[in-house]
Structure 1
Amino acid sequence: MRRFWLPLLAALLLPVALPASAQERVINVYNWTDYIDPAVIERFTRETGITVRYDVFDSLETLEAKLSAGRSGYDVVVPTSEPSFARLVRAGALRSLDRARLPNFAGQDPALLRQVASSDPGNAHGAIYLWGTIGMGLRPARIRALFPEAPLDSLDLLLRPENIRRIAGCGVAVMDSGIDVIPSVLHWLRRDPQGAGAEDLRAAEAALLAVRPSFRAIISSAAITDALATGEYCAVIGYSGDVVQAQARAREAGRGDDLTYVQPREGAQLWFDMLAIPADAPHPEDAHAFIDFLLRPEVMAAITNKVRYPNAVPASRASLSEEVARDPNIYPPPEAIARAFTVAAPPPAAERARSRVWSRVKAGR
């Protein structure tokens, strides 16, 4: 009997070769540059034992190209609601979220969820990560030194040739995203920001080409943040949070605080970045765990405190720093939100036409 049991016991005690997935739990995340608090990722790994491999992109075009090719290997991605997230939903490129695995989903602001429901009926494929507006980052003192009567509250400053020429010497830049810039220009022209017909696109192209000689650069949003913080530019068109991040970096570097974010009086484009899971994600269960972790109020507060973009979890407000909670550039007042507008993805042919317009604008011809 002992000759039988001892070999069996020894066999049971031998180390078992586990598959790699059992030995190490990993998720692959693809997010915007400078868009999370690294301490949040460390905390998630400590609590769950799941390692996060974190890659970044700096344009929606880059994200869409990666996902459209298929087999990206990513488990969690962060597309903007329009047009990228909506297109990915329609293409079947995103997995429906399992709400049973996301108890913190219910903590999001219902009004904000309704805003993105047009991109994702029933909010089936995404949770709101962060949101914001598109407007201007300005250094008013430098602008007024060149143009005392500058309209600092309006896109007239940067889209009227006679105005932008007067401040071109102190540096003007625009973020490299036709997806975002063209609707803002159409809205400034008092046209439908959804406009994708030939007449609307010709008008937007003409307006942009008229001021293109005064742009020092058309660059990524991450580059805009760095250049604003160092004082390279006095005026940009970009994302609200990039400008607010630049403010914080400028103060830390002792470069003063003559930098402000302005939502144009004409109204600013409102956007939402979404937490989503690709349809072919290799680790969907752990992806759900990561999204649910991010939606915790104290976690979302830590992210907003770090990156200076608002989140959609009202309970997080109690954990925000006083500076962040009271900053109207981070949490705009109701009247500013009332003037804001949202856009939806145009049909594919119209989107290709917009891309061609943006390419010509970048080339200056």
Structure 2
Amino acid sequence: MRRIGAVIWVCCAALSAEAAEEKVLNVYNWSHYIGTQTLRRFESETGIKVRYDVYDSNEILQGKLLTGRSGYDVVGPSMSFLGNQLAAGVFQPLDKAKLPNHRQLDPALLRQLAAADPGTRHAVPYLWGTTSVAVDEDRARRALGGQPLPADALALLFDPAYAAKLGDCGVAMMISPSQVVVQALIYLGKDPALNRPEDLAAVAGLLRAVRPYVRVFSSSPINDLVNGEVCAAMIYSGDAYIAARRAREANSPRKIRYLLSPKGAELWMDTFAIPKDAPHPDNAHRFLDFMMRPEVMADISNELFYPNALPATRPLLDRALTADRNLYPDAATMARLRGQGRVPPALQRERVRLFNQFKNNSYR
């Protein structure tokens, strides 16, 4: 009888703890990476108040996770960083019984995610896309003196002969070490997935040669393009289309285009995961399940121009977007795209060192 009473007490205590979880959710995600109404809708449906903070690079997120006690319930790591973070034990396993919408996720994307998260036990896919170059076409052509744009758009950023001419109208690089290094490797014709330390020497020389012509470092140079601060920028695919849309909405003469290199581009996937020490794990599961509803994700994809992981959203997506091969690549385009894969921690640190030298222009 005492044992039965103890079991009942433990069960009641667990239920009490769950019921006592305060109506708060702390989310840490990329900037410009959630729908305008998404959080408001979640708060309205659940009564859970969302505190939403943003970061500029995977490196910033990783530093906070490895330090521990971040205070966040949901974070948005890219798949290429997920493996190292899982090895460090920073995420808790998902309770899929609390995620009924998980069954709607694309099996093909789940197989890709399983390369970093075996069994997809700790993360769910959010959005995916590419990284390449956006140009303010008319200004770039004028800066080039009527010379046509190069066949390889990455040359605008990494070939000093082009970058020097664009110096007056402005070049923007990402503030992310991993993104800058990967784009440089692709331009050099090297496979980022091979993770060869010797390739970084070639990248270092390339970055040093173009550093005098870089005006802006930004995680999302949308406003820099729209305001005319730069005429060429390394950028995420969706951000390039947001910049083009904002220019049109402002009746600006700027024609902003997103260009993929014939050598390819990085294909990346961002995820959602719950830190091991998340203060509100039940609220986090409610949020993840909400974010796997087709009508919610369709609104996000239509607004942010990124594909998602839910096949059921396809009929709800803007057909003009799904027909654009730069946003929704066909088989031929997909064949040119590169996944970064997991980067060994020592090589990751070397990438950060190399990038900081580039950004700070601390060459001797």
**TM-score w.r.t. structure 1 length?**
0.89
Percent pairwise identity:
45
> Is it true that 1:200 corresponds to 2:205 in the alignment?
no
Q: Which residue of 1 aligns with 2:170?
A: 171
The one-letter code matched in structure 2 to 1:131 is: W
Which residue of 29, 32, 39 corresponds with 2:27? Answer: 29
The one-letter code matched in structure 2 to 1:203 is: A
Which residue of 83, 88, 93 corresponds with 1:86? Answer: 83
Rounded Cα–Cα distance in structure 1 between residues aligned with 2:166 and 2:209: 15
Which residue of 12, 37, 40 corresponds with 2:38? Answer: 40
Unaligned runs of 5+ residues in structure 1 are 1-17
- Conservation of the 8 A alpha-carbon contact between 1:244 and 1:329: no
The one-letter code matched in structure 1 to 2:154 is: L
Q: Which residue of 1 aligns with 2:160?
A: 161
Q: Which residue of 1 aligns with 2:52?
A: 54
In terms of mean alpha carbon deviation, does 182-191 or 89-98 score higher? Answer: 182-191
Q: Which residue of 1 aligns with 2:67?
A: 69
Q: Which residue of 2 aligns with 1:238?
A: 235
The structural deviation recorded for 1:167 is 2.1
The structural deviation recorded for 1:198 is 4.1
Rounded Cα–Cα distance in structure 2 between residues aligned with 1:359 and 1:24: 41
Q: How does 1:212-361 map to 2 (within 5 A)?
A: 212-217=211-216, 219-222=217-220, 224-256=221-253, 258-361=255-358
- Conservation of the 8 A alpha-carbon contact between 2:84 and 2:345: no
Rounded Cα–Cα distance in structure 1 between residues aligned with 2:89 and 2:105: 24
Rounded Cα–Cα distance in structure 2 between residues aligned with 1:249 and 1:328: 21
SS class of match (2:335): helix
> Is it true that 1:180 corresponds to 2:174 in the alignment?
no
The structural deviation recorded for 1:131 is 0.8
Rounded Cα–Cα distance in structure 1 between residues aligned with 2:340 and 2:76: 18
Unaligned runs of 5+ residues in structure 2 are 1-15
Q: Which residue of 2 aligns with 1:15?
A: none
Q: How many residues align?
A: 345
Deviation per residue, 1:77-133 (Å, 9 max, x gap) = 1111112x2221111101111121112112122222222221111211111111110
The structural deviation recorded for 1:256 is 3.4
Rounded Cα–Cα distance in structure 2 between residues aligned with 1:36 and 1:333: 25
Q: Which residue of 2 aligns with 1:117?
A: 114
Distance 1:319 1:112, change over 3 A: same
Distance 1:78 1:23, change over 3 A: closer
In terms of mean alpha carbon deviation, does 43-52 or 296-305 score higher? Answer: 43-52
Rounded Cα–Cα distance in structure 2 between residues aligned with 1:47 and 1:350: 44
Rounded Cα–Cα distance in structure 2 between residues aligned with 1:23 and 1:115: 34
Rounded Cα–Cα distance in structure 2 between residues aligned with 1:20 and 1:346: 38
Q: Which residue of 1 aligns with 2:4?
A: none
Rounded Cα–Cα distance in structure 2 between residues aligned with 1:247 and 1:283: 38
The one-letter code matched in structure 2 to 1:158 is: L
SS class of match (1:169): coil
Which residue of 95, 100, 124 corresponds with 2:97? Answer: 100
Deviation per residue, 1:277-312 (Å, 9 max, x gap) = 001111112211110111111000111122222111
The one-letter code matched in structure 2 to 1:282 is: P
Q: Which residue of 2 aligns with 1:5?
A: none
Backbone CA RMSD of aligned residues: 2.0
Distance 1:152 1:234, change over 3 A: farther
The structural deviation recorded for 1:257 is 5.2
SS class of match (1:335): helix
Rounded Cα–Cα distance in structure 2 between residues aligned with 1:80 and 1:169: 34
Rounded Cα–Cα distance in structure 1 between residues aligned with 2:83 and 2:253: 40
